[in-house]
Every structure is written in structure tokens, then in C-alpha cells.
Structure 1
């Protein structure tokens, strides 16, 4: 197993790690190849070298390449005659480049369930899709059915709000969160972000009566494992990824999911509604073994024995 990334290898990585150079020139030249690709800047040594490094392995050592929806790497792998797996992302992926990547993939794995699938996907994609459900580092700690049932009945009395907010670009300011806190004096707020990380996120998730978070895939996956009542608020991202996630959460009846940060006066009712809705809806978002499902499908693809089924 070989990992390719510009980041350092994660702790405990079991295989080889190929550290790729950065590919972000200050003034990129024709990075979309006249609209054919998403990112392939001309004459940039970092981009050329990272593609050369991957090509070296693709030409000699790899039988399956798994990509994070990178169209360029997906197409490069397929051109080398290597089976490709796209780890899908929500949002509008109907542009030319995404269509080519998804069409050429040998397998698509989604971190969502068949019940919460993207409704616009063509049959050609769904026929080769494995629905893994949410994939969380906390899956092995997932909340018990008894605690989920208690939340749905409104058994909690601590009235605590945990805010999880990322650093990937946001319209929400500390002032916005402060105003929401002031508007809900009956609730105790804890705010976690890259600037103020949690010392024990799982414990804080379990202690919260309602979790407020953006609609990023990882944040929602962690929340689904903890199975907490929630208010999930979309932030602007390429291809409307977070807005699609919020819409899917809302349509599946999982939790309160919004398109924009609410006004302060809206927060008391929002928190009460989220608490009353409970957390049983998360069972429609996750199967509890997303990583195992994904790994099993990839192994079957590698062995030539994959049969895609909705569950």
C-alpha cells in the first residue's frame, strides 16, 4: 500500500508514503486546460513532479488507485490501465471534468447511505457505487441505541451546546457565535475550532445536548458516530458541497440543517427544535462500519470479484 500526499504520513500509516511537492503556483497558467480539467497548470515544476512521481508507481507497482475525487489523478490512473476508485463527494459534480472522472472510475464509494443518496446521479454511476455510509474515526466508539433513544425522548437536562467550526473558509465570525450565545441564556455554549481544539472531542460530543457545526463531510461523520441532536449549517464551498450535504440531511430527516447562519433571535427555537427532534435519524446516515465496507469493496475490486449492491 502506498499513500500519495503533500502532507506528512499520518501516525500509524501501515505502508509506504510518497511525499508529493506542492502544485500551487502564484500565477497559474491555463490551470484548467481550456476547461477540460480542474487543475493542471502549465510549466509548473511542482505539478509536473507530483504527476511524474505517481506515474512512476502507476507504471510498475499499483493495481488499484483510490482518489479523493481528483479528476486529474483518476484519469491519469485509468490511462495507465489501473483500476480506479473515486471516493465521492457531495455537491454538483455534473461539470465536464467531474463527469469524465466518475464515468471512467472502476468503482465509486460514497461516505453516505443509499437512503441519503444524491438524487441526480445517473444510472451509470449508481450501478458501480458502494454506499459505505459515514466514515468516522469514532465508529468503534459509536453511541449505543439506548442513549439514542433517550435523546429522542428529550431525557437530557444539561442544556449544553457544542459548536464545532473549521478553518477552511467561513462566513461565520466569532461575533456571530457570541450573539447566538447571548440570545440563548438557558444554554451553556462551548466553542471548538482549529484555534481552540477540543482536548477530548468524543467526550465533549457525548456531553452535548445539541451540536452546532458546519456541513463538512468529516464534521458530519464525527457527529453521526456520536449520534447527537444537531444544527448543521452549510458554508460556501466549491461545487456547493456543504449545501448539498445540508439538503441531504434535511431531506432524510436526520437533524436541523440550514443554508445560512441564523439570526440571534432564531436560536432559542432552533436549539429547542433540534433537541426535540433527537438523534435517531443518524441511523439513516451511517451503517456504523463505513471504513470496513469501503475496504471490502476495494479489496474485491482488486481481486476481480466485486458486485455492487446498495447495502
Structure 2
């Protein structure tokens, strides 16, 4: 008897999908289903992978969401009256019914984790940094077969509670793990990474730092220049096909402390200035805490961006030997995939 491995992929930002696609590459011998609302761009996938496109879980203009018990301590987001939620739940439970035996990996949603468990589907939950001791997380974590943290145990922040005890720490990985990094690095080149999940790294801030640090050259990925005024030491490159080619030539990375950005900086062994954004459960703040005491890494809060002496900060950090020791694990993806497979084999008694 074989079993299917399904993934629920949250549509906020791009990090959840990027991480899942890396894991799926290591599951070539298994049937895989990807479920989510942000998967339209996935085409020409291997034959072992199917995609279940889910409708968004937000209200249409004419929907009344003010009825019933609007808030519940048991959920983060479960408004009443939204057709998209009813339809996505129906589609997910259809996937559960038609593809059993099935194990569901959730990255991330406590509501989906609880829905699957109520449908009799075993779950594995991807852990994130942040204060996750609220009731919905406790219910989801308790109902899961195990939790997987795509980072090292030494990066864990928080109490070593029951959830910690059922967590498998795989070590870190990123899409840049296999990138050759043997290029000539310009000591005064800084790469600024602008994500799509909301950021305080604005064009105004970028131009202010370039003006105050004219001996440094700044290359900005993820943001187009909106205004005509140009600076000789500043390039806006927008979205590029192969960002690693630009990043690996830089000496310093400036970016938010989201999971993927941190892991990419570690993979390429770059000096890093991290800016933790306001995210649910203080995820980026906790991620920043997990790396803030390392050499070659500086953390600057959003409210200090325009008050920081950037010339002094960059001069200081470029002379430090960066310390990413223990963050990236060479076999992390393989360990993660193997953990999923072994869990399914144990549950469904496959030898």
C-alpha cells in the first residue's frame, strides 16, 4: 500500500511556496498534491505532482460577514458567511476523501491543520519562529503527529514545552544552497532585498541610505524605481530571474528577517543587516533574536531606520568575519523529506 503526501501552502508572501517546492524535489518517488490559493504559476510539474487550486478565503463585496460569533479563541481566522471559505473547505475535504491514505504537511494554517485532523487525516506542521503559545497553535500542535522546524535547534527561541519535544529540527536550507559562490566580491557593494509581504524598506529609505553612504554601491532587488531622480551609486533591478547572481557579488545584504531571507544570506555566507518587520506572533522579531549575537550580523528595527548612522554601521560590518555557523545543514531538505516519508510509513504500516 502506498500513500499520498499533500501540502497546504499559505498564500501570504512567497516563502511558503519556495520552501515546499524544495522539499517536493526530494519526494520524486511519491505521489504529491499541492493545495493553495497562490499556485496558478505552477506549470509543467513532474508527473508525480498534482495541484489543487483553492479559492481565496476573503469576502466578496456583497457578502455579510457580521453574522454569528465573529471572534473565537479557537481560531485565528474563521469568519462566518464567506463563500470562498466554504468552497475551499469542500475542495480540501474532497482531496482528503479521494486520496486516502494521505498525510498532510501544513505550511502554515492552524485552521487547515484542525480541519484535516477532524477529517481523520494525520498532519505534520511546519514550525515558524514567533510566540506560538496561543490556544489555536496549541490545539493544532497537539493534534499533529509531529512538528518540523526548518532551522537548527540552536536557533530556537522560547520555552522547551510539549511542542518543542515533538519538533524535528532539520537545520536550515535555502534555494541558494547549491549556488557556486566563488566570485570576486566587491567590498563596498550592498544588495538590498525587498520582499512582497510588506516592508519598511521603501524607496525613500533606500535613497536616504545611498545618499549618506556614497562610497558604497547599492543594488536593489524586488523593487522598481518609481521616480526619475537617480543616484550614481544606486541601482533598482526589480524582479530578476536569477537573484543569486546579483547577491553573491555583494559583500553585505540588507533585508527583512523573514525565514527565507535569513537562510539565503546564510547559504551565501553574506554579512547581513536584518530589519524585523511587524508580523503576526512577532515572527521576524524572534527570528532576529535567534541570530542577533553573531559576528557580521546587525539588527536594526524599522523605527530606527532613519536614525541609524548607516555609514558607520556598514563600515563596521564589512570588516567583520560573518558567523553563520550551524545555521545551514547540508542534508536539511533530505532529512525533512525523509521525516515526512517515515512518518507516513509508520502511520499506514508500510514496510
For Structure 1 versus Structure 2, the TM-score category normalised by the shorter chain is 0.7 to 0.9
Task: Give me the whole-angstrom Cα distance separating, in 2, the residues matched to 1:95 and 1:249.
Answer: 24
Q: 1-side partners of 2:131 and 2:69: how far apart?
A: 20
Other-structure match for 1:84: 123
Q: Distance in 2 between matches of 1:31 and 1:288?
A: 48
Specify which structure has the higher proportion of helix. Answer: 1
Q: Partner of 1:269 in structure 2? A: 312
1:118 aligns with 2:161: no
Aligned to 2:42: 10
The answer (yes or no) to whether the contact 1:183–1:264 under 8 Å persists in 2 is: no
State the secondary structure of the residue aligned to 2:58: coil
Secondary structure of the corresponding residue to residue 141 of structure 1: coil
Counterparts of 1:284 and 1:32 in 2: how far apart (Å)?
Answer: 44
> Which one of 25, 33, 47 corresponds to residue 85 of structure 2?
47
**Equivalent of 1:75 in 83, 96, 114:** 114
Question: RMSD over aligned Cα, in angstroms?
Answer: 2.3
Question: Separation in 1 of the partners of 2:210 and 2:307?
Answer: 8
Match of residue 25 from structure 1? 59
Equivalent position to 1:226, from 268, 290, 295: 268
Structure-2 separation of matches of 1:133 and 1:142: 20
How many residue pairs get matched?
294
Q: Distance in 2 between matches of 1:170 and 1:35?
A: 29
What do the CA deviations read for 1:234-277 (whole angstroms, capped 9, x no partner)?
Answer: 11111111111111111455722232343365111211232233
Instruction: Measure, in 1, the Cα distance between the counterparts of 2:325 and 2:44.
Output: 30
Shift of 1:287: 0.7
The structure with the greater share of residues assigned to strand is 2
Report how far residue 142 of structure 1 moved.
5.9
Which range moves more in the overlay, 196-205 or 27-36? 27-36
Deviation by residue 1:172-223 (Cα, 9 ceiling, x = unmatched): 3211111111111111111112541235311111100111011111222222
Tell me the TM-score normalised to structure 2 length: 0.77
* Structure 2 unmatched ranges of 5 or more: 1-31, 225-237
Match of residue 308 from structure 1: none
The answer to whether 1:174 aligns with 2:226 is: no
SS at 1:159's partner residue? strand
Do the aligned partners of residues 52 and 13 (structure 1) sit closer, same or farther apart at CA in structure 2, a change above 3 Å counting? same
Alpha-carbon distance in 2 for matches of 1:221, 1:13: 25
Separation of aligned partners in 1, 2:58 and 2:256: 26
Alpha carbons 2:185, 2:248 under 8 Å: kept: no
1:256 has 2:298 as partner: yes
Q: Contact conserved, 2:193 with 2:220, CA < 8 A, in 1?
A: yes
TM-score with structure 1 setting the length: 0.86
Does the 8 Å CA contact 2:129/2:156 hold for their aligned counterparts? no
CA contact (8 A) 2:194 2:201 kept: no
